[in-house]
A and B are shown apart, each in its own frame.
Chain A
Amino acid sequence: ILNVEQSPQSLHVQEGDSTNFTCSFPSSNFYALHWYRWETAKSPEALFVMTLNGDEKKKGRISATLNTKEGYSYLYIKGSQPEDSATYLCAFFLYRDDKIIFGKGTRLHILP
């Protein structure tokens, strides 16, 4: 059974603090890993598409790294702001079976 694990499930961070969370995935047959940001009552929006081991992507205060050999990706948020409150989903794309597996998400709450 292929599993994509995200941790922690939920996180409370003080405004202005930096934070990070993890997506773990099977390291074999890797094709791509996506990060999505999902605000309450809205639909998921793409943040990053990561394909190469050692990839590092950045968008404003948010960045992500990828380690395909050990099967994990980190998402970092620098200087958290209230608008960062959302669920962050990662999705693993398995080339062999043309399959997409989503993690359950990390729910981030920014405290004022």
Chain B
Amino acid sequence: NAGVTQTPKFRILKIGQSMTLQCTQDMNHNYMYWYRQDPGMGLKLIYYSVGAGITDKGEVPNGYNVSRSTTEDFPLRLELAAPSQTSVYFCASSPPSGGTGETQYFGPGTRLLVL
């Protein structure tokens, strides 16, 4: 099992550009999550999904969009990049049995710099 994979590892965007952060898991997990990590702020939940076709907003969803067409993939889209979106983005997934109370497995992160 590769676990949770994220691409790209690092990206520089200009203000106003758009991009998609990819996340894939091969563990057949129903729940998937996107977090951003800002210095000194811990992890903030952007969006999450409880299964294919279902997505919900987290704590900081503004400026982002997600889709979940398959169990494996949960891409995060930035439509108009802003400097405030400079951050490290982590994707995570958790097993199907217990919902959000289950252990989350994290991807390696995507470091995004918006200039």
Instruction: List chain A positions with a Cβ less than 8 A from chain B.
Output: 31-32, 34, 42-46, 49, 51, 89, 91, 93, 95, 98-105
Contacts and interface: CB of A to CB of B under 8 A. Distances in A.
Contacts of B99: 98
Interface in B16-51: 33, 35, 40-45, 48
A104 B41 contact: yes
Given A98-B99, A100-B33, A46 B42 contact: no
A43 B109 CA distance: 7
B102 interface: yes
A44 B101 contact: no
Contact of A93 (B35, B58, B101): B101
Is the interface on chain B under 10, 10 to 19, 20 to 34, or 35 or more residues? Answer: 20 to 34
23 contacts: A32-B101, A42-B108, A43-B90, A43-B106, A43-B108, A44-B43, A44-B90, A44-B104, A44-B106, A51-B101, A89-B43, A93-B101, A98-B56, A98-B99, A98-B100, A99-B100, A100-B33, A100-B58, A100-B100, A102-B42, A102-B44, A104-B40, A104-B42
Contact of B105 (A42, A46, A49, A93): A46
